Amino acid sequence: MGRSAGKRAAFALAAVVVVAGASGCEDGASGTKPGASSASPAAQSREEATKAVRAAYGKTAEAKSAKVEMRLVVSGTQGAGSSTFTGVQGWSPSVADLKVTDSSYLADIPGAPVETRAIASGGTTYMDVGAAQAAQTGGKRWMRIDPEQAAREDELLTQLTAGLSTVNQDPAKELGLLAEAPSVRHIGPVTDDDVKAQAYEGEPAGGKHVEVWIGADGYPVRMIVETTTDKTLTKLTTDYTGYGTGAAVQAPPTEDTFDFMELLKKIVAGGGQG
């Protein structure tokens, strides 16, 4: 696959990784580490930690949606880059409407917009490619991506998505798995700007580490998911507010969309020019 095709693949994956049918959290944008407050309570037992995480799971599952700010950082030999996503996300069913900014993937593509919009609905991701790119796709601005199909049909995409499919953006699901993990433990009180919470962590699956900050109201305010696969490390930090926010997400009109895999095949057939 040519370099241009690879860049277009990375452009698509900036959306695929975060909003396509699977959801959730780098170690915070500010890099704040858990630290004890002046009135730090004693560390909770494993049973107490499990109870707190399980209670947060119940509240999160019932809320079904929230406002989110995500920071994705991928490091390693394949697909390295970063992006920020802000907007609304829903789970049960899985939907999202996010603004994509500060993206190294977009910055690497000539003609790509500085910021764009990504929508997830019905297990499919759509990304607005911008006016310059749309001029090459018959005026259609919305790139349609089926992440499972992309990973099946293209070797580069399979490499780039290695381990990323385990980053599940459904926070309720992540909390449920963490509550059942034998490694779940209480870190202690944490603060970041106006956020005060109790932090918990654990390893619910091989190659995955999850940290969740639970606020005084029992809802997660931050979730940090780190996934390691082969030589790729993925860190996704999600800050949550406004639980229960409506997530009435609609897919773009069919006539305004084009299929990413079909575009990629054309690029490859043309020797990577695009």
- Report the chain (274 residues): mean pLDDT per 10 consecutive residues: 50 45 35 40 88 98 94 80 89 88 78 83 84 83 76 52 45 94 96 91 91 97 89 88 88 90 66 48
pLDDT, position 162: 38
Instruction: List, in order, residues 6 or more apart from 32 with CB less than 8 Å away.
Output: 190, 191, 192
pLDDT, position 103: 83
DSSP letter, residue 165: G
Residue 21 backbone zone (phi > 0: left; psi -120 to 50: alpha; other: beta): left
pLDDT, position 155: 52
Q: Output the DSSP codes for 89-144.
A: EETTTTEEEEEEES-HHHHTSTT--SSEEEEEETTEEEEE-HHHHHTTTTT--EEE
pLDDT, position 159: 46
37's tokens: 């407050």
Helix (H, G, I), strand (E, B) or coil at 14: helix
Place of tokens 């909390």: 175
Could you tell me the pTM of the whole model? 0.80
159's tokens: 């490499």
Residue 45: C-alpha distances to residues 52, 157, 183 (Å): 11, 42, 12
pLDDT, position 51: 97
Q: What value, to the nearest 5°, has the Cα angle with vertex 156 and ends 26 and 88?
A: 40
